[in-house]
């Protein structure tokens, strides 16, 4: 079995205004090629920080991270060719149209205009993005629509490893379904590996093959979706990952978040 992403003891500390935040305190994980790997945890637990490190946007203070065997820090440009990312914030030139933004993204990934347009139309179709609106400036788009454009931007480059940081947050139930289908399609038809963070437990259950639960910068438990739930099935009927989280930390996601806010 080969791995899409492996890390050893990844640590990241932020220093802001004399305050020190230990965002990641030694993350070890292995993502197998072709699986959807869920990274779940309350607000501020370090999910986005980890995804930024895997995206070459943050350099870890300690530890080792490899994507398809390439060191993410030392071989960043090799890694960049294999990945893409969708973040919670859509991040676009708001004055430019969707198509202008997408063609720019395609261009800097070395994709020709012709090829890019074909993919943009195909993905728009799949996520229910109205083609007629593609020439409107992004500032006129609703948040959900912007998110769909962000999804098109990442899927268009057909990365081997897709980093999805809450890709469906802010989408209506139908759009959510469409994006989830697209993620499954990526995995099944294109053999992509996906790292997914989400606050939607149903989504995690529907999509993920394997799940790691992160809390205060540490992975507290990880395992196959079914096995994790089976671990506490004797206590709770039809357990969710939140129940798993609660079982291992003694607090719920909401409480953990509150705790985080207090200590901050």
Partner 1 sequence: MNTQGVVREMRASWAFIVRNFNLIKRYWKWELVFFVYTIANSITMGFIGKGVEAFSGAELDTSYLILYMLLGSILWGYLSILFEIVAETVAWERWEETIEYTFMAPIKRATHLLSVCGFAILYGILRAGLILLVVSAFFDLDLSKANVLSATGILAVASFSFIGLGMVAAILPLISPEKGVQVVHIFQALLLMFSGVYYEITVLPQWMQNVAKFSPATYALKGMRSAILDGKGFSELWSQIWPLLILGLFLLPAGIYFFQLMEQWAKKRGVLKRSG
Ligand X SMILES: Nc1ncnc2c1ncn2[C@@H]1O[C@H](COP(=O)(O)OP(=O)(O)OP(=O)(O)O)[C@@H](O)[C@H]1O
Pick between residue 112 and residue 181 the one whose CB is nearest to partner 1.
112
Among the listed residues 94, 143, 224, 227, the single contact to partner 1 using CB under 8 A: 94
Taking alpha carbons only, the member of 207, 224, 256 closest to residue 47 is 256
Nearer to Mg ion, 37 or 68 (CB): 37
Which of partner 1, ligand X, Mg ion, none sits in contact with 143, Cβ below 5 to 8 A by type? none
Q: What's the rounded Cα separation, in Å, for the pair 201 and 254?
A: 13
Distance CA 87, CA 241 (A): 22
Smallest distance from ligand X to CB 23, Å: 3
Report d(CA 98, CA 81) in Å as an integer. Answer: 23
Partner whose footprint covers residue 110, from partner 1, Mg ion, ligand X, none (CB < 5 to 8 Å by kind): partner 1
Q: Does 83 bind partner 1 (CB under 8 A)?
A: yes
Residue 96 within binding range of partner 1, rule CB under 8 A: yes
- Euclidean distance between the first and the last CA atom of the chain, given in angstroms as a whole number: 41
CB of 184 to partner 1, least distance (A): 24
Residue among 73, 54, 63 at smallest CA distance from 10: 63
Closest CA to 32 of 157, 161, 203, 159: 161
- Among 28-36, 54-62, 121-129, 243-251, the segment contacting partner 1 (CB under 8 A): 54-62
> For residue 233, what are the β-bridge partners?
none
- 263 vs 206: CA distance, rounded Å: 33
* Partner in contact with 43, chosen from Mg ion, partner 1, ligand X, none, beta carbon below 5 to 8 Å by kind: ligand X
Burial of 133 (0-12, 13-18, 19+ CB in 10 A): middle
Cβ(142)–Cβ(115) below 8 Å: no
Q: How far is the CB of 100 from partner 1 (least distance, A)?
A: 5
The residue of the chain with the least Cβ separation from Mg ion equals: 48
Q: Does 135 bind partner 1 (CB under 8 A)?
A: no
Residue range at the interface with partner 1 (CB under 8 A); choices 34-42, 62-70, 80-88, 198-206: 80-88
Token pair, residue 179, equals 């994006």
Residues whose CB is less than 8 angstroms from the CB of residue 25 and which lie 6 or more positions away in sequence, other chains included:
11, 216, 217, 218
Select from 107, 172, 188, 202 the one that contacts partner 1 (CB under 8 A): 107
74 binds partner 1 (CB under 8 A): no
Rule CB under 8 A: which residues touch partner 1? 12, 14-16, 49, 52, 55-59, 61, 77, 80-81, 83-85, 87, 89, 91-96, 100, 103-112, 137, 153
- Residue ranges binding Mg ion (CB under 5 A): 47-48
């Amino acid at each position: 079995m080969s791995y899409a992403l492996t890390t050893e003891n990844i640590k990241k500390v932020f220093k802001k205004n004399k305050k020190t935040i230990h965002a990641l305190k030694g993350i070890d994980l292995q993502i197998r090629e072709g699986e959807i790997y869920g990274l779940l945890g309350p607000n501020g637990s370090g999910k986005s920080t980890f995804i930024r490190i895997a995206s070459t946007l943050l350099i870890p203070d300690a530890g080792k991270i490899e994507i398809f065997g390439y060191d993410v820090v030392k071989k960043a440009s090799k890694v960049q060719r294999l990945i893409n990312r969708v973040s919670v914030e859509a991040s676009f030139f708001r004055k430019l149209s969707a198509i202008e933004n997408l063609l720019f993204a395609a261009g800097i990934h070395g994709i020709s205009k012709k090829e890019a347009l074909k993919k943009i139309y195909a993905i728009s179709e799949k996520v229910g993005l109205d083609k007629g609106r593609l020439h409107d400036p992004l500032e006129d788009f609703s948040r959900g629509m912007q998110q769909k454009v962000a999804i098109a931007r990442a899927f268009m480059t057909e990365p081997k490893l897709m980093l999805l940081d809450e890709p469906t947050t802010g989408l209506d139930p139908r759009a959510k379904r469409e994006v989830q289908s697209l993620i499954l399609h990526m995995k099944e038809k294109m053999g992509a590996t996906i790292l997914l963070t989400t606050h939607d437990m149903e989504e995690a259950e529907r999509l993920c093959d394997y799940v790691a639960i992160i809390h205060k910068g540490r992975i507290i438990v990880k395992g196959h979706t079914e096995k994790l739930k089976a671990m506490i099935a004797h206590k709770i009927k039809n357990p969710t990952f939140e129940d798993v989280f609660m079982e291992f930390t003694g607090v719920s996601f909401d409480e953990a978040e509150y705790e985080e806010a207090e200590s901050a």
